[in-house]
């Protein structure tokens, strides 16, 4: 598990997997009923207010991946076989350029892309959802709607999601 946090001085801090893995394994051992599973999912989703993202793919190592983008909460959640494996803050389309709701498949993936429509803007780890340019990509994530319709994720989370997805990945935007 990788956690990226902001410390009291505003600097980014990355906690290593070794420290967090022990805590997670203890949760797995305790996890015997569905009520414990719900609390584990909640902890994975909102472990720290200052946290940018959580990525725990070992919770469900194989199977289809689904991404859910909640435009009202400005967050993205990744599920594999119905098990939450990741959560991140997100920034979707601002007023007048809202990210369209719907269910999508990934049409195109490029590790490095520049927007033809928006002044050659960089779109690292781009995954196109629509023919008219709506995509998931890494970028500035102020945790409020600020894009021109795309779904921006923290750069490291965008990279992890990029590596985990394929054309069969469903992306649900609501």
Q: What is the pLDDT of residue 82?
A: 94
Q: For the chain (length 174 residues), average pLDDT per consecutive 10?
A: 55 41 30 39 51 93 95 97 96 96 97 77 93 94 92 97 96 98
Residue 11: domain span = 2-173
Q: What is the pLDDT of residue 8?
A: 57
Q: What is the pLDDT of residue 157?
A: 97
Q: What is the pLDDT of residue 81?
A: 94
Q: How many distinct structural domains can be found in the chain?
A: 1
Q: What is the pLDDT of residue 167?
A: 92
Q: What is the pLDDT of residue 133?
A: 87
Task: Enter the tokens of residue 1.
Answer: 């598990």
Q: Give 129's contacts (C-beta < 8 A, 6+ positions apart).
A: 104, 105, 106, 107, 135, 136, 151, 171, 173
The CATH number of the domain where 41 resides is what? Answer: 2.40.440.10
Q: What is the SS3 assignment for 149-165?
A: CCEEECHHHHHHHHHHC
Evaluate whether 92 touches 101 at the Cβ level (below 8 Å).
Answer: no
Q: What is the pLDDT of residue 103?
A: 98
Instruction: Return the residue matching tokens 């990945």.
Output: 169
Q: What is the pLDDT of residue 116?
A: 72
């Amino acid at each position: 598990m990788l956690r990226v946090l902001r410390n009291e001085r505003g600097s980014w801090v990355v906690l290593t997997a070794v420290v967090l893995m022990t805590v997670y394994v203890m949760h797995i051992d305790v996890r015997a009923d569905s009520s414990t599973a719900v609390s584990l999912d909640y902890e994975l989703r909102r472990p720290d207010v200052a946290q940018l993202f959580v990525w725990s793919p070992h919770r469900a190592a194989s199977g289809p991946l689904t991404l859910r983008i909640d435009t009202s909460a400005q967050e993205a959640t990744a599920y594999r076989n119905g098990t939450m494996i990741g959560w991140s803050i997100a920034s979707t389309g601002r007023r007048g350029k809202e990210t369209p709701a719907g269910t999508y498949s990934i049409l195109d993936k490029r590790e490095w892309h520049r927007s033809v429509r928006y002044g050659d803007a960089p779109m690292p780890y781009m995954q196109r959802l629509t023919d008219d340019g709506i995509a998931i990509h890494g970028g500035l994530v102020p945790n409020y709607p600020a894009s021109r319709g795309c779904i921006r994720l923290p750069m490291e989370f965008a990279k992890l999601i990029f590596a985990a997805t394929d054309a069969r990945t469903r992306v649900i935007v609501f």
